[in-house]
Amino acid sequence: MTTTVDPPVRVGKPAVWALALLAAATGTLESVVTPTLPLLQRELSMSRAEGALLGVAMLITGAIIAPIAGNLGDRFGGKWVMVRLMAVVATGGLVSALAPNLPVLLLGQVLEGAMVGAMPLSFILVRKHLPAGESAVAIGVVSGMFVGGGMLGTLMAGPIAEGLSRHWMFAIPTMAIVITTLAVHRLMPNDPPARSDARIDWPGVVLLSGILVTLMAVLQVAPNAIDQPLLLGALVVLLAGLVTGWIQVERRAAAPMIDLRLLAKPALWSSYVITFAVCVGTAGATYLVPQLFDVSADGYGFGASPTDIGRYLLPSAIAAAVSGPLGGLAVRRFGSSAVLATGIGVMTTALFALAFVHAEVWHLVVGKALIALASGVCITAMVVKTADAVDEESTGIATSLVLVTRVLGFAFGVQVSGSILDAGKLSGTTVPAESAYSTGFVIAATVTALSLLVIRTLHKGVKA
């Protein structure tokens, strides 16, 4: 039974900026582990394998939580779900801040992973409370602030951990999350649920969670497939079985977690393909550029210190922060397809350029900034396009799958880039040959460019 509700209250800029600041705070907390992983390994006596597990724990949780949060937000109201989700994230941040050992820190990271679900909930809220043109800009602002927060966390984590302690690099963004969540709770009006009698499709939730965890495991194992062929084969078989079972469950469920008819829309499946390809390209640059800065200056690198690398990446942080609002404005003026084509063109050109021109620091700084800007614009356009392709009550689940695809694309891109460098080591050393970096950039550029082939399908099946 569908209930009749009053139209949602329109909101002003303070409410939108509260959401944006919450996105920045969560992005900051999400990113503090990566630059400080060597420090955490030393202080907590972790092996490299344990460090790798710590690095992906949040990604796995986020990939699982995002579609669940989007589904619940569509059914029960975005604000209601978001406030409770942020309570989980804040608890995770507190656990991480107080963690005396690896198991406790892993628990904190798993809880923090719930933050990925905040993005589709934000998109639900702005779409319900703002006119179409303004909601596109608001989506861009929220997306850009999340990315900008991530860059801020990358830059500030090291100095805070070294100047204060590792505990404070978790505690400071956690306090910001608590404050901004209270601001959202106060400034953002309640949004009515789409259905008051909706039930949660628990079998679908469990199977989808298994699919995402297994897929992440496949991405982790695939680079070492020669050494572990049986394990990879077993994971692929398990993944195929889970996917088959999930499709059957969703087809028969009275209230499926994901309506498979949505995924059949050209505007949706093509958006996920494009998102994956763009994020593979972005991940390639995100992984390869800092590695190039770190290579000894006696060879083809620059011998940059962690502080120097942070300075060199600052323009990328700024570009990433402005890319979301810029993408939203561009979509409103020129349309998603035109913005996507332009962004992908800029990314592809920059990646190809870095493959052959990286002899000076400024080459990498400019190239990385262009890639960060183009990537953020593309993802914003993709979220807006996806939201426009579905009814309002499906906004959360449709946009959450964009974020899941984004996580998977980044994981795949990093794994491929790392494997290329490992395979291209100079004989008798642990240093990759310069040609390995060129190969990595060319592959990232090629994957990104291939996404242009499906842009033409984006206009099909878009809701009028």
Residue 422 in contact with residue 322, Cβ under 8 Å? no
Percent of the chain at pLDDT above 70? Answer: 83
**Which has the higher per-residue pLDDT, 178 or 117?**
178
pTM comes to 0.72
Q: Does the domain spanning 258-464 belong to CATH 2.130.10.10?
A: no
**Per-domain residue ranges for the chain?**
9-191, 201-256, 258-464
Per residue in 108-145, pLDDT tens? 888 888 887 777 777 777 777 776 667 767 777 777 77
305: helix, strand or coil? coil
Q: Going by C-beta distance under 8 Å and a sequence separation of 6 or more, which residues neighbour residue 17? A: 141
Question: What single-letter DSSP state applies at residue 457?
Answer: G
Among 159-163, 252-256, 312-316, 405-409, which is the least confidently predicted range?
252-256
Burial 406-440 (b: 16+ CB within 10 A, else e): bbbbbbbbbbbbeebbeebeeeeeebbbbebbbbb
Query: Which whole number is the average pLDDT over 190-215?
Result: 71
Query: Phi-psi region for residue 7, left (φ > 0), alpha (ψ -120 to 50) or beta?
Result: beta
Q: What is the pLDDT of residue 313?
A: 78
Report how far residue 428's alpha carbon sits from residue 172's, in angstroms, rounded to the nearest whole number: 44
In angstroms, what is the C-alpha Rg of the chain? Answer: 21
**Which has the higher per-residue pLDDT, 459 or 448?**
448
Query: Which whole number is the average pLDDT over 381-397?
Result: 70
Angstrom CA distances, 1 to 28, 53, 251, stand at 41, 45, 20
Our CA angle for 274, 149, 49, nearest 5°, is: 75
Residue from 276, 316, 3, 381 nearest 155 by CA: 316
Q: What is the pLDDT of residue 461?
A: 46
**Torsion 248-251-254-258 (CA) sign:** positive
Per residue in 240-250, pLDDT tens? 998 898 888 87
- With tokens 């404005």, the residue in question is 329
CATH topology of domain 9-191: Growth Hormone; Chain: A; (1.20.1250)
Whether residue 463 is predicted with pLDDT greater than 80 in this model: the reply is no
Report how far residue 193's alpha carbon sits from residue 313's, in angstroms, rounded to the nearest whole number: 42
The helix or strand, by DSSP H or E, that contains position 346, with its residue range, turns out to be helix 336-356
Q: What is the pLDDT of residue 1?
A: 42
Tokens of 366: 């400019």
Report how far residue 340's alpha carbon sits from residue 347's, in angstroms, rounded to the nearest whole number: 10
Query: Which whole number is the average pLDDT over 364-369?
Result: 93
- With tokens 């699982």, the residue in question is 64
* Length of the chain in terms of residues written: 464
Phi, psi angle pair for 432, to nearest 5°: -70, 150
The reply to whether 9-191 and 258-464 are identical in fold is: yes
Q: Going by C-beta distance under 8 Å and a sequence separation of 6 or more, which residues neighbour residue 309? A: 290, 293, 294
Say which amino acid occupies 311: R
DSSP class per residue in 43-87: HTT--HHHHHHHHHHHHHHHHHHHHHHHHHHHHH-HHHHHHHHHH
Q: What is the pLDDT of residue 5?
A: 47
Q: What is the rounded average pLDDT for all residues in the chain?
A: 79
Our CA angle for 155, 156, 159, nearest 5°, is: 110
Tokens of 107: 């628990």
Whether residue 92 is predicted with pLDDT greater than 70 in this model: the reply is yes
The CA-based diameter of the chain, rounded to the nearest angstrom, is 71
DSSP class per residue in 378-415: HHHHHHHHHHHTS-GGGHHHHHHHHHHHHHHHHHHHHH
Report how far residue 175's alpha carbon sits from residue 372's, in angstroms, rounded to the nearest whole number: 28
Number of helices (H), then strands (E), in the chain: 17, 0
Whether residue 426 is predicted with pLDDT greater than 60 in this model: the reply is yes
Phi, psi angle pair for 252, to nearest 5°: -95, -15
Provide the pLDDT confidence category of residue 187 given band limits of 50, 70 and 90. confident
Among 2-6, 294-298, 346-350, 355-359, which is the least confidently predicted range?
2-6
**Which has the higher per-residue pLDDT, 9 or 317?**
317
**Torsion 293-405-457-463 (CA) sign:** negative
Q: What is the pLDDT of residue 148?
A: 75
Residue 354 in contact with residue 109, Cβ under 8 Å? no
Separation of CA 135 from chain center: 20
Q: Going by C-beta distance under 8 Å and a sequence separation of 6 or more, which residues neighbour residue 38? A: none
